[in-house]
A and B are shown apart, each in its own frame.
Chain A
Amino acid sequence: MSKILGISAFYHDSAVAITVDGEIIAAAQEERYSRKKHDAGFPVHSIKYCLEETGFCLDELDAVVFYDKPLLKFERLLETYYAFAPKGLRQFVLSIPIWLKEKMFLKKQIYEGLNSVEPYNKKDLKLLFPAHHMSHAASAFYPSPFSSAAILTIDGVGEWATATIAKGEGHQIRILKEMRFPHSAGLLYSAFTYFLGFKVNSGEYKLMGLAPYGDPNSEQTAAFIKKIKDHLVTIYEDGSIWLNQEYFTYTTALKMLNDSKWEKLFECKKVAPDGVLEPCHCNLAYAIQHVTEEIVLKMAKEAKRLTDSDYLCMAGGVALNCVANGKLLKAQLFKDIFIQPASGDAGGSVGAALLAHHMYYDHPRQVTNEPDAMKGSYLGPDFSDKEAVITFKKQKAVYNHIESFDALCAKVAEALDSGQVVGWFQGKMEFGPRALGNRSILADPRDKDMQKKLNLKIKYREGFRPFAPAVQTEHVEEIFDLDTHSPYMLLVAEVKQQERRDMIKNDHNLTIWDKLYMDRGALQSITHVDFSARVQTVHKETNQRFWSLLEAFKQKTGCGVLINTSFNVRGEPIVCSPEDAYRCFMSTEMDWLVVNNYILEKTAQPEWDNREKWRTNFRPD
């Protein structure tokens, strides 16, 4: 029996996964325990959880696998400084101490970190370090339902690679082509994220949500696309890119780019964090999204050419760009696409563990045909009724238990139908950045004001951001132009024509807020301004409870769609425990909280005076 622990840590999104005989048993992100968004610390809590879930101790593991190669990263660091010298002296002086004190001795840090989990015999521990993009590739291919597939990984940067094309065959993965630092599609997108006032490494989603507010037909947008291609990036036919380093500073300075140079190029001011977004910023967002889609599509075509495969697997941070994924699917280059739900660095832990099992130990692979081996990404901890009740009692909460789950669903459906917002906490926590119906905030998408209410009064986030719909997989084609499943909310599809209202002519002359509040159709709150939606298909096989709730809502209202947004506020990691859920529930204007079969109504709860204090714990992301 092979028991392998995969770890991703020390950069961002620390996470752990454990596999037994190649089956992913458990996986969790450290941020959910530490309550620090994108926590990079050694994932002590997640390791404890994974070990508890399997019943193994550290001494029983065959290997612990770290998701990248620190010495190769250090080589990149030194060679980059050498190439750009004498520029970058300040960054050099600041970063070298970090490396000399911590990152170069990562092995020691891992040994010490594991020791703080539990005592173990260091001499018997096998510690492995696969390459960053191999971990990504493995996280995409091994859990996929394909025995053979092309693999495309695209992110900011690993050691040297920023994107790779590989072929997965049986239990082997072979990298065929790679693009190297500093030329990176992920860093290009992150540079625009920074320029548009969002945080690098977490605000990329916001940029993607902002893009549809841009006017695709305007001269300004066309000019932006031309300027990006003429001055910032050369895109080659094989999808590889060359970034003009005169416009970027991430190799030598402490930020992504030179603000004034970009302002001059685009004749558009850089947006301050939480600053005002003008139409030119929306057009710029549209332009970079368009360019990114072109890059991804060309890379996928090259992957097809090199592998001649019918299937594609994707991972890496850029694979979370669900708009680009949707376009790639529509291009029908491949019969089917599998995207790792935890495509960012957290998912590297899954890949690292699976890579060791299949490649290092040479174990054959059992292909899971339906739907994939990620188990719906419900790989995190669950909490018993007893644990929930202990929390409620501690908080002096008022709660009711409803024995029949059908009755509970009927009650929740009724609350949702009357415009109320429900915190829905069930079963195992999701692994990856999306809440998929176990740690979710749910609401009625037909409510015209729901997007505003959720953004401003519950999530406390930017008002322009769209919400995703959850729909039973059997009914997805009735509402969306999507003929496949999207269980991980990684595909964007258009809302069907019959669900839309025609927008008035020249709508792109409207401000961002006028566009947002304009009547777009029956499912206003999940229909983005370009009539797209980031769809989650809910499957009875992987999430019976959420599926049943959707069924109850459909029976009650005739509408089989719910808004599904993550159970957290801006800057807060998604809730992990009933205690996190209760705190979030009490500190926002959520109306109901459901934990397992327990239901709590806001109006019945005792006074909660920690609201402001609690929210200030989380820095805006």
Chain B
Amino acid sequence: MIDFLSDFWLYIKERKKYWLAPIIVVLLLLGFLIVFGGGSALAPFIYTLF
């Protein structure tokens, strides 16, 4: 996780996209819920855009 956060900080600095930081923090918190909740994360897409 520390590895990810440091990469993420470098990326935000490089791209100057500081506005993404709070969104990603909230999403990460949500992510913990998903991971600990053991929810499914199967890709339902017909095209792998995402």
Contact = CB atoms under 8 A, between A and B. Distances in A.
A75 B39 CA distance: 23
B9 to A, nearest CB: 11
A396 interface: no
Interface residues of B, number: 28
Interface in A235-277: 250-251, 254-256
Contact of A254 (B24, B34, B35, B45): B45
Contacts of A40: 48
A254 B20 CA distance: 24
Contacts of B3: 107-108
A200 B47 contact: yes
Interface string B17-46: 100100110011011001100011111111
B50 A254 contact: no
A202 to B, nearest CB: 11
A98 B11 CA distance: 20
A510 B45 CA distance: 37
B46 A194 contact: yes
Nearest to A251: B49
Given A100-B34, A100-B35, A78 B20 contact: yes
Given A75-B20, A108-B3, A98 B49 contact: no
Contacts of B27: 96, 99-100
Given A71-B7, A100-B30, A255 B46 contact: yes
A91 to B, nearest CB: 7
Interface in A160-213: 187, 190, 194, 199-201
A201 B47 contact: yes
A112 B38 CA distance: 20
A71 B50 contact: no
Contact of A107 (B4, B15, B45): B4
A100 B28 contact: yes
A11 interface: yes
A91 B50 contact: yes
A72 B15 CA distance: 9
A200 B24 CA distance: 30
Interface in A280-294: none
B41 A97 contact: yes
A71 B47 contact: no
Given A101-B41, A254-B44, A157 B49 contact: yes
Contacts of B30: 96, 100
Contacts of B34: 97, 100-101
Given A101-B34, A107-B7, A94 B44 contact: yes
B35 A190 contact: no
Nearest to B34: A97
Given A71-B11, A78-B20, A101 B44 contact: no
B48 A201 contact: yes
A115 interface: no
Nearest to A73: B50
A102 B4 contact: no
A105 interface: yes
A95 B46 contact: no
B46 A256 contact: yes
A73 to B, nearest CB: 8
Given A75-B20, A96-B27, A101-B34, A200 B46 contact: yes
B43 A78 contact: no
Contacts of A156: 47, 49
A108 B4 contact: yes
Q: Enumerate the 4 nearest inter-chain pairs by beta-carbon distance, A residue then B residue, closest first.
A: A100-B31, A101-B41, A97-B41, A95-B50
Given A100-B34, A254-B46, 19 more contacts: A72-B15, A75-B17, A91-B45, A95-B45, A96-B27, A97-B31, A97-B39, A98-B42, A101-B31, A104-B4, A104-B31, A187-B47, A200-B47, A201-B47, A201-B48, A250-B49, A254-B45, A255-B46, A256-B47
28 contacts: A12-B48, A71-B11, A72-B15, A75-B17, A75-B20, A78-B20, A78-B23, A95-B43, A97-B34, A99-B50, A100-B27, A100-B28, A100-B35, A100-B41, A101-B31, A101-B34, A105-B4, A107-B3, A108-B3, A157-B49, A199-B46, A200-B46, A200-B47, A250-B49, A251-B49, A254-B45, A255-B46, A256-B46
